[in-house]
Amino acid sequence: MARLRQALVDCELIDMGFVGPRFTWSNRFTKERLDRACQNVQWRELYPFSRCITLPLSRFDHCPLLIEMYPEPAILIRTPKLFRFEEMWLQHTDCMKVVQQGWMLPTIGEPMMQVGRKIKQTGQLLLRWHSGVFQQRQTEMKLIQGKLDDLMKQSFEPGYFEVQKALQFRLNELLSANEMYWRQRSRVQWLKDGDHNMAFFHRRASNRRCRNRVKGLLNDEGQWTVDQGEVNELIIQYYEAIFRAGGSDPAAA
């Protein structure tokens, strides 16, 4: 550990902290946070609102870490969902029947207009079929991941290990069944980042400034918010609640 700490100092790397479960690995006897994300001063100045998220367990016995890179607070904009043909549909025996059903629906108009309408009708049928058949797998996966997430947040208990292993086994089955689904959506991104020597005291001061900055808070509904106005309101509500004067019992005095 002394060599690891010295390596972090020599490379001028700083722990990013984390959002989510504290522990990233467990066995029958203990739980630990063995996985961490590090950054240097220049990278943090470019992406001051970045964060490291601990994801639920999946195929391996370590929780994966997701680094979200934000130069400024993220603004989520919902866009209309476009139709995408899923490669995994071809493995289901009912896929051909759904396509034939959509293509046989009656249409009117010019020949090419009818072709366009048939394609649209078939796509709508496929999406409804997908929601009824394949979406159940996604829902089950989210439920299992939520349970694994809750288990990793709790302190070590010997009885939880077998439950955790059973959930991981079922999650691995679902991931294997959806292998094509994930491969179709996979993207490979490469990040090239240079490193320059910085003064030690500058790094320590920058580290403190980063830790003291409130990048976001969870509201009462458990939703993460980075809007500065909402963050300020949550802070005010919190301190108003803990410093509110309560009633006193004269008899107890």
Residue-wise pLDDT tens digits, 44-94: 888 888 888 888 877 777 888 988 887 666 565 666 677 888 877 887 888
Instruction: Judge whether residue 249 has pLDDT over 60.
Output: no
Would you state the pLDDT for residue 211?
Answer: 58
Under 8 Å CB-to-CB from 29, ≥6 apart: which residues? 156, 158
Residues forming a β-bridge with 31: 26
* Same domain for 179 and 246: no
Q: Which domain holds residue 93?
A: 87-133
Question: What pLDDT shows up at residue 201?
Answer: 40
Residues 12 and 124 in one domain: no
More confident: 143 or 184: 143
pLDDT at 173: 77
pLDDT for 192 beyond 60:
no
Check whether residue 159 and residue 121 sit in a common domain: no
Q: Are 234 and 174 part of one and the same domain?
A: no
Query: Is residue 118 located within the same domain as residue 152?
Result: no
Residues 149 and 224 grouped into a single domain: no
The total number of structural domains in the chain stands at 3
107 and 223 share one domain: no
Same domain, 144 and 197: yes
pLDDT for res 31: 85
State whether 58 and 22 are in the same domain.
yes
Q: Is the pLDDT of residue 99 over 60?
A: yes
In this structure, the answer to whether residues 69 and 141 fall within a common structural domain is yes
Q: State pTM to two decimals.
A: 0.37
Confidence band, pLDDT 50/70/90 cuts, at residue 206 = low
With a CB cutoff of 8 Å and minimum separation 6, the contacts of 231 are: 214, 216, 217, 225
* 41 and 6 in a common domain: yes
Residues 120 and 160 in one domain: no
